[in-house]
Amino acid sequence: MAREQVKRKAGAQAAAIGAGALVRDGRIVTDDPWRVLEDDAAIPAQGDIVMRPQRLEEARARNAGRLGVLIAPPDAVEDVAAHLPRLSLVMAAFPSFRDGRAYTTARLLRERYGYQGEVRAVGDVLEDQLFSMLRCGFDSFDLRSKDPEAAFARAAKRFAHVYQPAADARLPAWRRRLLRFAAAPEDAS
Amino acid sequence: MYRYDEFDAAIVADRIAEFRDQVARRLSGELTEDQFKPLRLMNGVYLQLHAYMLRVAIPYGTLNSAQLRRLAHIARTYDKGYGHFTTRQNIQFNWPALKDIPAILEELAAVEMHAIQTSGNCIRNVTADHFAGAAADEHDDPRIWAEIIRQWSTFHPEFSFLPRKFKIAITGADADRAAVQVHDIGLHLRRIDGALRFSVYVGGGQGRTPFVAPLIKDDLAPEDLLAYLEACLRVYNRHGRRDNIYKARIKILVSALGAAEYARQVDAEWRAIGTSTLRLPDAEVARIRAYFASPPFAAKPAESAAYEAAKAQDKAFARWTRTNVHPHKQPGYSSVTISLKPIGGVPGDASDAQLDAVAELAQAYSFDEARVTHEQNLVLPHVALDDLHALWRGLAAHDLATPNAGLVSDIIACPGLDYCDLANARAIPVAQAIAETFADLDAQETIGELKIKISGCINACGHHHVGHIGILGVDKHGAEFYQILLGGRADERAALAKVVGKGMSADAIPGAIARVVKTYLSLRESESERFIDAYERLGPAPFEEALYGA
């Protein structure tokens, strides 16, 4: 079924990366050193390169630069778990903004594997999904927008409060409620 | 009922600001319709056959009088003077202008309502037993847990772009009045040795491939509820199919993996998540529980002399009490079904004047509370027996006292081809024609409980798979045709109805249903053997013969 189809599309996915503007910490980054390798491209000896999980072993043997990985569905975070300590960047792909699998990928990277490096949202990355992406642990964005910095600024402060814990530092409303009562016990009556 | 604090209010207000901005970007052309569609859907805005439709969430079907009055005001001001209650305990407005929708959302927020996640491939509004907090057979109030799930699922950052929509239903009573086994997740609260535990059913649903959900866990402790749900959703988000919209619901994943394998994957994920971050503090559960405490009932005897006298003197009232009044846990009280199924009316529709009337009656007689049922009626949950006669007169003045709850004319019907972009056939006129065939109230009462459910297409919004008699509209070479199904049920013994025979035209349906009913009446063992009981005893053969001849 779809698994094979999606596998074949992963190369095309790599080609679509960089269609937006790279945004990190709310600013456009113009000097991004990362190069995404197509599946059939030779692995260079130098440079910061990103590839699909299946080529990581080979790349670790051949390349002296920094390594990153592209996780595009149906590739899974478990496929790269053993390599994570050596990886400086994980790109998680949204083939369409309607495909929400990369949110889980990012949360597992941060919460289950404790990955501290850069997690970049690539593919169909739009303003209206940024808030959720930030909550799931993404920290850089290949953002498709007319004015990426303004879009990011709007999206990042869209909600003052949240209801559930995720990969970010935000406290869910239930924790804030308890803190409020702890801070002002006279209000609790 | 639950009341917003500053956090709930801020989250809804921020959402309105976001949606106002999204509408502005759509109207300016910055967003394409393709990009705008999932954003508006996530806020309950559909583009239907004739206009935009706004679906407003009524969490677990609970409303107060201020909210009812506001819905009446919205119907009057922004729509054509009516709203439509759905099988998801929500209300839909069929004629709002897109530019007015942010203003409508502001009106709703002022009474602690919203349209969040009433559509889209996300976790939808959670539904619950409409007799919650009132039923005598209840172990715990499901609204407490439904509210906890509402908050956890609202703008869940990981689960807003699932493979497909996701519906959770919950009941806390022995009898399942929330149809939990035909939901993506059904939760059934029980007490095991005094301790509350959830039975968790996953992968039920109707639509083109109906399933009764398998039980995947029968002893989930309440403190583990959110971690376990997160695991259920995560396995689905990762592995549910996204290549075919008709195979994307979780029921297809559970069916393909097998319930045991799905349960194993969820269990592994649940253990990996652990419980610390998703376990609510006791104080928060207690805070939410306090909102659902019983209202200040008066101490009353179990029987009311005034009520008995009124029934003896007023035959029409007595008839209504036999069908529309239900037992209550508190002596001297009852729960009342307000039928939105007048003979010849549109199932589930209520006018602005009717909504205002229900608000006034809820305030006067039911501790300011009303409910929406998944059978498209309203309920006043806490009415003293002493007040029933006055309430009935108040309802009758607004055509809200049809004595048919649970009877053959209490029909569920989806909007069908009269409104819906997806429909193949009309559902409302078929429901009206059947109700008119059985208009005689004595005959209806003789027939007894009989649940007819009509859908205008395979998506089954009218629940035809779980009707005692289900009717499915299909398009056959450009003409509307209807298939009849028999033997479904949506209660704690949920079962799917089976298609019998060939399709027929709309004109033939009322006569066909009448033949099925006549057959039942001739074959039942006693008046207490309901249609569904007789069907299960006899099987489909005598009914098929009645429909199509030998």
Tens-binned pLDDT, residue by residue, of chain B (550 aa) = 999 999 999 999 999 999 999 999 888 888 888 888 888 888 889 887 777 899 999 999 999 999 999 999 999 999 999 999 999 999 999 889 888 999 999 999 999 999 999 999 999 999 999 999 999 999 999 999 999 999 999 999 999 999 999 999 999 999 999 999 999 999 999 999 999 999 999 999 998 899 999 999 999 999 999 999 999 999 999 999 999 999 999 999 999 999 999 999 999 999 999 977 899 999 999 999 999 999 999 999 999 999 999 999 999 999 999 999 999 999 999 999 999 999 999 999 999 999 999 999 999 999 999 999 999 999 999 999 999 999 999 999 999 999 999 999 999 999 898 888 889 999 999 999 999 999 999 999 999 999 999 999 999 999 999 999 999 999 888 889 999 999 999 999 999 999 998 899 999 999 999 999 999 999 999 999 999 999 999 999 999 999 987 5
8 Å CB contact between B22 and A128: yes
- Coarse DSSP helix, strand, coil percentages of chain A, rounded to the nearest 5 percent: 45, 20, 35
8 Å CB contact between B366 and B68: no
Round to whole Å and give the CA distance between B24 and B21: 5
Does any CB of chain B come closer than 8 Å to the CB of residue A112? yes
Round to whole Å and give the CA distance between B187 and B440: 39
Q: Which residues contact A31 (CB under 8 A, 6 or more apart)?
A: none
| Helix B101-109 × helix B65-78 angle, to 10° | 160
For B247-257, write each residue's pLDDT tens digit. Answer: 999 999 999 99
8 Å CB contact between B179 and A187: no
Q: Which residues contact B112 (CB under 8 A, 6 or more apart)?
A: B3, B4, B8, B9, B12, B67
Task: Mark out chain B residues that contact chain A at CB-CB < 8 A.
Answer: 5, 7-8, 10-11, 14-15, 18, 21-22, 30, 35, 38-39, 121, 151-152, 154-162, 226, 234, 237-238, 241-244, 272, 277-278, 280-281, 283-284, 287
**Strand A140-143 to strand A21-24: parallel, antiparallel, or no bridges (unpaired)?**
antiparallel
Please tell me which of the candidates B21, B158, B272 has its beta carbon nearest to residue A166.
Answer: B158
Closest CA to B266 of B207, B201, B212, B204: B201
Band the pLDDT of A18: cuts 50, 70, 90. Answer: confident
**Strand A27-28 to strand A21-24: parallel, antiparallel, or no bridges (unpaired)?**
antiparallel
- Judged by CB atoms closer than 8 Å, whether chains meet at B157 and A174 is answered as no
For B417-450, write each residue's pLDDT tens digit. Answer: 888 888 999 999 999 999 999 999 999 999 999 9
Helices (H), B159-247: 225-239
Q: Which residues of B touch A136 (CB under 8 A)?
A: 157-158
Whether the link from the prior residue into B331 is cis, omega within 30° of 0, is no
Does any CB of chain B come closer than 8 Å to the CB of residue A2? yes
For B283-298, write each residue's pLDDT tens digit. Answer: 999 999 999 999 999 9
Q: Which residues of A touch B281 (CB under 8 A)?
A: 174-175, 178
How far is the CA of A161 from the CAs of A111, A172, A173, B258, B479, in angstroms? 21, 7, 7, 39, 52
Q: Which residues of A touch B38 (CB under 8 A)?
A: 97-98
Q: Which helix (H) or strand (E) holds B309?
A: helix B305-313
- Judged by CB atoms closer than 8 Å, whether chains meet at B158 and A103 is answered as yes
Q: What angle do CA A176, A179, A181 make, to 5 degrees?
A: 110
B161: nearest CA in chain A?
A100
Band the pLDDT of A181: cuts 50, 70, 90. Answer: low
Round to whole Å and give the CA distance between B292 and B143: 7
Amino acid at B253: L
Size of interface A-B (CB pairs under 8 A): 107
Q: Which residues of B touch A98 (CB under 8 A)?
A: 38, 121, 161
Burial B25-35 (b: 16+ CB within 10 A, else e): bbeeeebeeeb
How far off is chain A from B238, nearest CA to CA, in Å?
Answer: 6
What sign for the dihedral angle of Cα B11, B14, B18, B20?
Answer: positive
8 Å CB contact between B427 and B433: no
**Does residue A17 register a pLDDT over 90?**
no
- Tokens for B345? 């009316």
How far is the CA of B202 from the CAs of A27, A70, B183, B236, B498, in angstroms? 44, 33, 7, 11, 22
8 Å CB contact between A113 and A80: no
Q: What angle do CA B405, B411, B416 make, to 5 degrees?
A: 150
For B313-366, write each residue's pLDDT tens digit. Answer: 999 999 999 999 999 999 999 999 999 999 999 999 999 999 999 999 999 999
Place of tokens 């749900």: B229
8 Å CB contact between B301 and B340: no
How crowded is residue B315: how many other Cβ atoms within 10 Å of its Cβ? 9
- Tokens for B102? 């942010």
Q: Which residues contact A79 (CB under 8 A, 6 or more apart)?
A: A53, A54, A71
How crowded is residue A169: how many other Cβ atoms within 10 Å of its Cβ? 6
For B356-412, write each residue's pLDDT tens digit. Answer: 999 999 999 999 999 999 999 999 999 999 999 999 999 999 999 999 999 999 999
Q: Which residues contact B305 (CB under 8 A, 6 or more apart)?
A: none
Strand order in the sheet with B469-476: B412-413, B452-455, B469-476, B479-486, B498-504
Strand order in the sheet with B62-64: B62-64, B369-372, B378-384, B333-338, B325-327
Closest CA to B120 of B36, B62, B59, B64: B36
For A78-130, write each residue's pLDDT tens digit. Answer: 999 999 999 999 999 999 999 999 999 999 999 999 999 999 999 999 999 99
- Tokens for B39? 């954003």
Half-sphere exposure of B293 (CA within 13 A, CB side): 7
What sign for the dihedral angle of Cα B356, B358, B359, B360?
Answer: positive
Burial class (CB in 10 A: 0-12, 13-18, 19+), B156: buried
Percent of chain B with pLDDT over 70: 100
Q: How much is the mean pLDDT over chain B?
A: 95
How crowded is residue B123: how many other Cβ atoms within 10 Å of its Cβ? 24
Closest CA to B237 of B393, B94, B122: B122
- Tokens for B427? 């559902």
Q: Which residues contact B29 (CB under 8 A, 6 or more apart)?
A: none
How far is the CA of A174 from the CAs of B156, B229, B277, B489, in angstroms? 15, 18, 11, 38
- Tokens for B435? 């109700």
The DSSP-derived string for B243-296 is S-GGG-SHHHHHHHH-HHHHHHHHHHHHHHH-STTTSPPHHHHHHHHHHTSPP-
What sign for the dihedral angle of Cα B5, B92, B382, B146?
Answer: negative
- What's the complex ipTM? 0.93
Band the pLDDT of A187: cuts 50, 70, 90. Answer: very low
Round to whole Å and give the CA distance between A107 and B487: 45
Q: Which residues contact B87 (CB under 8 A, 6 or more apart)?
A: B374, B375, B376, B412, B414, B461, B462, B463
- Tokens for B331? 């002596």
Round to whole Å and give the CA distance between B489 and B453: 10
Q: Which residues of A touch B18 (CB under 8 A)?
A: 158
**Phi-psi sector, B194: left (phi>0), alpha (psi -120 to 50), beta:** left
Name which of A75, A174, A181 to mutate to probe chain B: the one with the most chain B Cβ atoms within 10 A of its Cβ. Answer: A174
